[in-house]
Structure 1
Amino acid sequence: MKLISWNIDSLNAALTGTSERAGETRAVLKKIAAATPDVFAIQETKLRTDPTKKHREALAEIFPDYEYVWRSSEEPARKSYAGTMYLYKKDYQPKVTYPTIGAPSTMDQEGRIITLEFPDFYVTEVYTPNSGNGLKRLAERQIWDDKYREYLTGLSKDKPVMASGDFNVAHEPIDLAHPNSNHHSAGFTDEEREHFTKLLAAGFTDSFRKLYPDKAGAYSWWAQRAVTSKQNNSGWRIDYWLVSDRIADKIQESTMVDTGKRRDHAPIELKIDL
């Protein structure tokens, strides 16, 4: 089974935009379509509500053999913010749920989690809240991390889980280019890293690190505003495919999809024999 996950940073821009960056993003979408994943998870769709007719036509053109489901941010949360989507091959008929986890503030209304239930396993995606500038959302983020861990372990008690997404944390110093200067930055605080450690300890395996325990310089995000971030490989690994420990031996590959010169997130791919 092949699964791909990507924080796209605006599906709307990717499908309807005319900028050079929109063109780069569409090229990556076409590359993903050509790879024919069984399931494709998208985070940070930034759709205002439902996909428009123009969005649907563009998706049908790029992914003609796929069904899709989505979850957009809704009031009292901001519109056109966060949001998630799944595309999956039409041969599949998963049960789709849009869970709330008792998160603080408006986090449960920001469209951050979708779960697909298959007969023998779950596939779920998350767009974890960023702690923000000045770590203003760090306290709420820690509550989110606890609630999300409870949710994921609940799923895993029922069936094996494959969980992907932008987790907004670089777990260990090896997971970012400049750990010493980012110790108090969102995504690399002690608190965020500790919560990710707790998540793994609750019964989950970081698929990339299982295969490549000592590989440095492998990142999934480069700052879009820093023109040389990707040229210098000054990146972070903050996107993950996690799997329940009991199916970790089924992992065949876990890697990043090359996006050329496009900065921001790279898609991540998991191949697993179920």
Structure 2
Amino acid sequence: MKLVSWNVNGLRACVNKGFMDYYHQSEADIFCLQETKLQAGQIEMELGEDVYQYWNYAIKKGYSGTAVFSRIKPLSVRYGMEEDSEPEGRMLTLEYDAFYLINVYTPNAKRDLTRLPYRLEWEDRFRSYVLQLEKTKPVIICGDLNVAHQEIDLKNPKPNMGNSGFTDEERGKMTDLLASGYVDSFRHLHPDQTDVYSWWSYMPKVRERNVGWRIDYFLVSQQLASKVTDAYIDCHVMGSDHCPVGVQLQG
């Protein structure tokens, strides 16, 4: 089974920059999107009759939003974390026979860290939600988690210490989540690989010089780790300030 995740930073714009070519070439069984930045009815995705589409839109126009395109019909779909969902459309949970899949776009703490308290509170609720699901079956978490966990996960760690996405608090929440029984699939297979990132600033020449951050992930329950046969980052794929990430699972 092949799963792909991509923060498209505006799906309509990404479609005009080759999204459909990559989608078809990927041959993913499940394809997850973050930052779709659209409302219901603003786009029609012709993905084939065998593909089930699920969308969680933000109330605010042109903001956030998640989607999942799945060739496997899920047993259930949940929109948001709480029963009343979230107004920012940040999460979709799909239940399959062997696992839950959570597609998530984690809130950004903002450059001035004004949203850090909310981010940390959200992280605690998210971890509790994940662990509740884990009581039933294994969980796969994918998406833009908006944090570079270790120094190896960004080009310039020293000057970015304390910046949004690399604060001790945000990194600590990722450590807590992994310690709860989850494995970073990419680091599981590539523990020492450097200079592989999934996001680059739009500042001039940044992507050309590969001055990036790895903030997009597939985390899997420890009991699924042995089934991960491949974990990759398609750094060469353009169309967004993020690139796609993916995993291959046995069975």
Q: TM-score, normalised by structure 1?
A: 0.87
Q: 1:150 to 1:262 in 2, by over 3 A?
A: same
Aligned-pair CA distance for 1:117: 0.5
Say whether residues 1:51 and 2:28 are aligned partners: no
Query: Among residues 44, 64, 68, which one is paired with 1:82 in the alignment?
Result: 64
Identical-pair percentage: 39
Change (3 A) 1:95 1:254: same
Letter in 2 for 1:67: Y
**Which residue number corresponds to residue 115 of structure 2?**
137
Instruction: Tell me: CA distance 1:263–1:108, structure 2 relative to 1, closer, same or farther (3 Å).
Output: closer
Given candidates 191, 195, 201, the residue that maps to 2:179 is 201
Give the Cα separation in 2 of the matches to 1:231 and 1:150.
39
Partner of 1:123: 101
Q: Do 2:31 and 2:69's aligned partners in 1 also have CA atoms closer than 8 Å?
A: yes
Aligned match for 1:37, one of 28, 35, 38: 28
AA of the residue aligned to 1:51: G
Counterpart code for 2:41? P
* Cα pair 2:234 2:243 within 8 Å, conserved: yes
Q: 1:85 to 1:263 in 2, by over 3 A?
A: closer
For 2:229 and 2:100, how far apart are their aligned partners in 1? 18
Determine if contact 2:109/2:164 at 8 Å carries over to the other structure: yes
Once residues 62 and 216 of structure 2 are traced to their aligned partners in structure 1, the CA distance between those partners, rounded to angstroms, is 22
Q: In the alignment, is the contact (CA less than 8 A) between 2:148 and 2:171 conserved in 1?
A: yes
Could you say if the C-alpha distance between residues 157 and 87 of structure 1 is closer, same or farther in structure 2, counting changes exceeding 3 Å?
A: same
Query: Shift of residue 28 of structure 1?
Result: 3.7
Instruction: Report the counterpart of residue 94 of structure 1 in structure 2.
Output: 75
Q: Which has the higher contact order (CA 8 A, sep 6+)?
A: 2
The equivalent of 1:7 in structure 2 is: 7
Counterpart contact for 1:240–1:268, Cα < 8 Å? yes
Q: CA RMSD in A?
A: 1.8
The alignment partner of 1:136 has SS state of: coil
Letter in structure 1 aligned against 2:9: D
Structure 1 SS opposite 2:134: helix
CA distance in 2, matches of 1:9, 1:64: 26
TM-score by length of 2: 0.94
Aligned residues: 251
Structure 1 or 2: more helix by fraction: 1
1:12 partner amino acid: R
The alignment status of 1:272 with 2:249, answered yes or no, reads yes
Question: What CA distance in whole angstroms lies between the structure 2 residues aligned with 1:263 and 1:9?
Answer: 6
Runs of 4+ in 1 over 2 A off after TM superposition: 12-15, 62-65, 91-94, 99-103, 258-263
Q: Show structure 2 runs of 5+ residues with no match.
A: none
**How far apart are 1:261 and its partner, in Å?**
5.3
